[in-house]
Amino acid sequence: MTNTDRSPDTPDIQRSAPVAGGRPTKQRLAVANVLDSFDDFRSAQEIHALLGTKGENVGLATVYRTLQLLADAGEVDVLRTEEGEAAYRRCSDTHHHHLVCRTCGATVEVEGPAVERWTKSIAAEHGYRDISHTLEIFGTCASCS
């Protein structure tokens, strides 16, 4: 691990913004960049492997740590698959949900103001406060039918 390694083949940094307040290290930038190369949900291990194929060797623990950082900062969305593993995806910064293909993972961001209102009012009706919610829709996309 030599961060001073700046040989000619080292790809230029594409994402200049620091990663969630921490130091913009080579590894964190690599993770942040690879997140832009797909638009479906990928597990931490898949992302780690993907980095490997691109010549960016980042330790698995660091991938986990960075994804957690990004998730905490709201820069990526986290989804629990039905098998219980966490999957990550770079998303728009407004609140939204996902329509995910069960087969190929193709993901569509969806918004539903009515749902947002409904959850709030239901929760208030029962005296619950500090509401949050999770809503994911699963199905088989057109090309997988």
Partner DNA sequence: AAACAGATTGAGAACCGTTGTCAAACCGAG
Partner DNA sequence: CTCGGTTTGACAACGGTTCTCAATCTGTTT
Closest approach, Cβ 47 to DNA, in A, equals 9
User: Taking CB within 5 to 8 Å according to partner kind, which of DNA, Zn ion, a copy of itself, none is near residue 4?
Assistant: DNA
> What is the token pair recorded at 105?
């993972």
24 or 139: CB nearest a copy of itself = 139
- What amino acid is encoded at 19 in this protein? V
The binder of DNA chosen from 15, 25, 49, 90 (CB under 7 A): 25
Nearest CA among 3, 14, 58, 68 for reference residue 36: 14
Among 4, 14, 92, 143, binds DNA (CB under 7 A): 4
Q: Is 104 in the site for Zn ion (CB under 5 A)?
A: yes
Our finding on whether 118 is near a copy of itself (CB under 8 A) is yes
Q: Which amino acid is at 65?
A: R
Candidate list 36, 40, 72, 85; residue touching DNA; CB under 7 A: 85
The structure tokens 């593993």 sit at 85
Task: Please report whether residue 33 would count as binding DNA according to CB under 7 A.
Answer: no
50 binds Zn ion (CB under 5 A): no
Take residue 104 and report the two structure tokens written for it: 């190929």
Instruction: Select from 53, 139, 58 the least CA-distant residue to 101.
Output: 139
d(CA 20, CA 117): 30
Q: How many CA atoms lie within 13 A of 141 on its CB side?
A: 13
Please identify which residue in 14, 53, 84, 93 interacts with DNA, judged by CB under 7 A: 84
From the list DNA, a copy of itself, Zn ion, none, pick the one residue 60 interacts with, judged by a Cβ distance below 5 to 8 Å according to partner type: DNA
